[in-house]
C-alpha cells in the first residue's frame, strides 16, 4: 500500500535514507512523496499544482501524490548530497545474478582490486547446475554442472567477493550512483553488471502447471533419480533436452525424446550417442497436446504433425526442456530491452544506461553458451572497472 506523505527535504531523507537530486536536465525539483512500499522517492516537476498522479514504477500502483513545499535543491546542496552519497558507497561493482557470467565478472572485478558484490535471488550457479555433464568448456574435458559452478563460486569468494541472497526488484540512478534495490535493502554501487540469465520456458499445455512437482519437471539432474526404472518423456530438441535424455537413460526403463521437428537443434555428438541407446526412442515431428493424470503424471497426449493423428505415451514423468526466457521486466525502466525481453547490449556488454552492463544469456546475443557467458563476465567486469576509474 502506497502512502501519501507531505514531507520536507530533511524529513524525507531521514525517513527514506535516500539521496535525491535533480533529474538530468532539470534545474530544480519538488519533493512530493515517498512510497513506503517500494521506498522509491517520487519527485514532481509540476511546481504550480498541488497534485500529480503517477504510477509507481516499482509497485505499479497509480496514486495521487500530494505536492510538497516545492523546495528547490540548489547546485551547492545537490553537490553536497552527491559527495555524501559517494562517501557512503559500498561497492565498486554490483552484480545482479550469480550464474557463470556473474561469477566470472566477480573474479575479474576482485582481481582488478574493485569491491564487488554478487546479489543472487535463488541459488548460486545458474542454469549450468542442471547440466549433468559439461563437455564443451575449453580445457575441461568433462565436469558436472554443479561442480563447475561450485568451483566458480569458491574462486570468486576466495578472492573476496561479497555475496548476498536477496531478490533484486529494480535499479535506480541517483546522480550517477546506481542503487540496486532488493526486497529488503538497497546497495549503492559505482557500476552494475546485470547477469540475470534466463528461466525455463513452459509448454503452456493443459496439465503442465497442475502436475509440476508431481511428475512434471524442468530439471532432469534434480529429479531424474525419482524415476528410476520408470518410463519418462523428455520434450525438446536443444542441447538441454538431449543431455536430459542421456542422463535419464541411465536411470529410467525407457526415455521418449519428443521433438516438434525431425531435426535436432542440439549437439550432433549427443544425438549420435542417444541413437545407440536401446532404451531411448525418438518421437519426432510431434507436439504435446496435454499432460495426463489427476494427481500424478500418467501419460502425455501427443499429435503427429505429419499425419495429424493424436496418440498417447504412458509415462510417469515428463521433463520439459524447451528453452529459456529472460526475466528483465524489473530493469525495463533503466535499460532498454528488445521485443523478447533481452537487455539490448552488444559484444562490449554496454547497455543503454551508462555504468550499467549486461553479461551472459540475459542480453541480446547470437550464441548462448557457457563459454560466451564466461566471456561476457570478463568483458563486462573490465568495462565496469574502466567506468569506475573514469567517474
Ligand atoms: P534451445 O537451444 O533454445 O532449444 C529449445 C528446444 O525446445 C528447441 O529444440 C525448440 O524447438 C524446442 N521448443 C521450443 N519451444 C517449444 C514448444 N513450445 N514446444 C515444443 N518444443 C519447443 O534451449 P536449450 O536446449 O535449453 O539450450 C539453451 C542454450 O544453452 C543453448 O545455446 C545451448 O547450446 C546451451 N546449452 C549448453 C550446454 C552445455 O553443456 N554447454 C548444455 C545445455 C544447453 P525448435 O528446435 O523447433 O525451435
- Say how far residue 169 (Cα) sits from the centre of its chain: 11
Higher pLDDT, 199 or 63: 199
- Name the closest-CA residue to atom 3, ligand 1: 323
pLDDT at 38: 39
Give 75's pLDDT tier (boundaries 50, 70, 90).
Answer: low
Q: What is the DSSP letter of 127?
A: G
Distance CA 245, CA 234 (A): 6
Q: What is the DSSP letter of 274?
A: H
pLDDT at 77: 64
Q: Kindly state if the Cβ of 136 falls inside 6 Å of ligand 1.
A: yes
- Name the closest-CA residue to atom 13, ligand 1: 322
Give 84's pLDDT tier (boundaries 50, 70, 90).
Answer: low
Mean pLDDT along residues 90-98: 96
Average pLDDT in the chain: 83
pLDDT at 78: 60
Q: Kindly state if the Cβ of 128 falls inside 6 Å of ligand 1.
A: no
Give 28's pLDDT tier (boundaries 50, 70, 90).
Answer: very low
Instruction: Give pTM, 2 decimals.
Output: 0.67
- Say how far residue 167 (Cα) sits from the centre of its chain: 10
Q: Kindly state if the Cβ of 265 falls inside 6 Å of ligand 1.
A: yes
- What tens digit of pLDDT does each residue of 3-20 get? 333 334 444 444 443 333
Is pLDDT at 64 greater than 50 in this prediction?
no
Ranges 64-68, 73-77, 323-327, 347-351, most confident = 347-351
Atom of ligand 1 lying closest to residue 134 CA: 40
pLDDT at 222: 76
- What tens digit of pLDDT does each residue of 215-255 get? 999 988 878 888 999 999 999 999 999 999 999 999 999 99
Q: Kindly state if the Cβ of 289 falls inside 6 Å of ligand 1.
A: no
Taking the centre of ligand 1 as the mean of its atom positions, its distance from the CA of residue 368, in whole angstroms, is: 10
CA distances to 50, 240, 271, 314 from 127, rounded to whole Å, are: 50, 10, 21, 29
pLDDT at 369: 85
Taking the centre of ligand 1 as the mean of its atom positions, its distance from the CA of residue 36, in whole angstroms, is: 42
Number of Cβ within 10 Å of residue 312's Cβ equals: 13
Verify whether residue 223 is a known catalytic residue: yes
In this structure, are strands 216-217 and 231-235 parallel, antiparallel, or unpaired?
Answer: unpaired
Of the residues 64, 222, 294, 310, only one is catalytic, namely 222
Q: Which of 173, 211, 199 is nearest to 97 (CA)?
A: 199
Verify whether residue 219 is a known catalytic residue: yes
Domains, the chain, with CATH or none: 3-88 (no CATH), 91-200+325-390 (3.50.50.60), 216-322 (3.50.50.60)
pLDDT at 13: 43
- What tens digit of pLDDT does each residue of 33-58 get? 444 333 344 444 433 344 444 444 44
Is pLDDT at 298 greater than 80 in this prediction?
yes
Is pLDDT at 100 greater than 50 in this prediction?
yes
pLDDT at 80: 64
Q: Give percent of the chain with pLDDT exceeding 70.
A: 77
Taking the centre of ligand 1 as the mean of its atom positions, its distance from the CA of residue 359, in whole angstroms, is: 20
Is pLDDT at 173 greater than 80 in this prediction?
yes
Q: Which of 241, 236, 217, 203 is nearest to 297 (CA)?
A: 217
Burial 70-95 (b: 16+ CB within 10 A, else e): eeebeeeebeebbeebeeeeebbbbb
pLDDT at 326: 94
- Name the closest-CA residue to atom 11, ligand 1: 237
Amino acid at each position: 500500500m502506497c502512502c501519501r506523505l507531505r514531507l520536507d527535504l530533511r524529513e524525507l531523507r531521514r525517513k527514506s535514507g535516500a539521496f535525491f537530486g535533480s533529474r538530468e536536465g532539470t534545474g530544480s525539483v519538488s519533493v512530493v512523496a515517498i512510497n513506503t512500499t517500494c521506498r522509491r522517492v517520487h519527485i514532481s516537476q509540476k511546481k504550480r499544482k498541488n497534485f500529480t498522479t503517477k504510477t509507481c514504477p516499482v509497485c505499479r500502483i497509480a496514486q495521487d501524490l500530494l505536492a510538497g513545499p516545492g523546495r528547490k535543491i540548489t547546485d551547492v546542496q545537490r553537490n553536497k548530497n552527491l559527495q555524501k552519497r559517494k562517501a557512503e558507497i559500498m561497492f565498486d561493482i554490483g552484480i545482479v545474478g550469480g550464474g557463470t557470467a556473474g561469477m566470472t565478472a566477480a573474479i575479474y572485478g576482485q582481481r582488478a582490486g574493485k569491491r564487488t558484490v554478487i546479489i543472487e535471488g535463488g541459488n548460486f550457479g545458474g542454469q549450468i547446475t542442471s547440466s549433468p555433464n559439461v563437455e564443451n568448456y575449453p580445457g575441461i574435458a568433462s565436469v558436472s554442472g554443479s561442480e563447475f559452478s561450485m568451483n566458480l563460486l569458491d574462486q570468486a569468494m576466495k578472492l573476496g567477493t561479497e555475496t548476498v541472497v536477496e531478490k533484486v526488484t529494480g535499479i535506480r540512478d541517483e546522480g550517477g550512483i546506481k542503487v540496486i534495490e532488493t526486497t529488503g535493502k538497497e546497495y549503492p554501487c559505482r557500476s552494475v553488471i546485470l547477469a540475470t540469465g534466463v528461466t525455463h520456458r513452459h509448454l503452456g499445455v493443459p496439465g503442465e502447471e497442475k502436475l509440476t512437482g508431481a511428475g512434471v519437471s524442468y530439471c532432469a539432474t534434480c529429479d531424474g533419480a525419482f524415476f528410476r526404472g520408470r518410463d519418462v518423456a523428455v520434450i525438446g530438441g536443444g542441447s538441454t533436452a538431449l543431455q536430459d535424455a542421456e542422463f535419464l537413460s541411465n536411470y529410467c526403463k525407457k526415455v521418449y525424446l519428443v521433438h516438434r521437428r525431425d531435426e535436432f537443434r542440439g549437439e550432433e555428438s549427443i544425438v549420435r550417442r542417444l541413437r545407440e541407446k536401446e532404451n531411448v526412442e525418438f518421437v519426432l515431428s510431434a507436439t504435446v497436446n496435454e499432460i495426463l493424470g489427476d494427481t500424478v503424471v500418467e501419460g502425455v497426449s501427443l499429435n503427429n504433425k505429419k499425419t495429424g493423428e493424436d496418440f498417447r505415451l504412458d509415462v510417469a514423468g515428463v521433463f520439459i526442456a524447451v528453452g529459456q526466457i529472460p526475466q528483465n521486466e524489473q530493469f525495463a525502466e533503466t535499460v532498454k530491452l528488445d521485443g523478447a525481453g533481452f537487455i539490448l547490449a552488444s559484444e562490449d556488454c554496454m547497455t543503454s544506461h551508462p555504468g550499467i552492463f549486461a553479461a551472459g544469456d540475459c542480453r541480446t546475443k547470437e550464441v548462448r553458451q557457457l563459454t560466451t557467458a564466461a566471456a561476457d563476465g570478463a568483458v563486462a567486469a573490465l568495462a565496469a572497472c574502466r567506468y569506475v576509474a573514469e567517474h
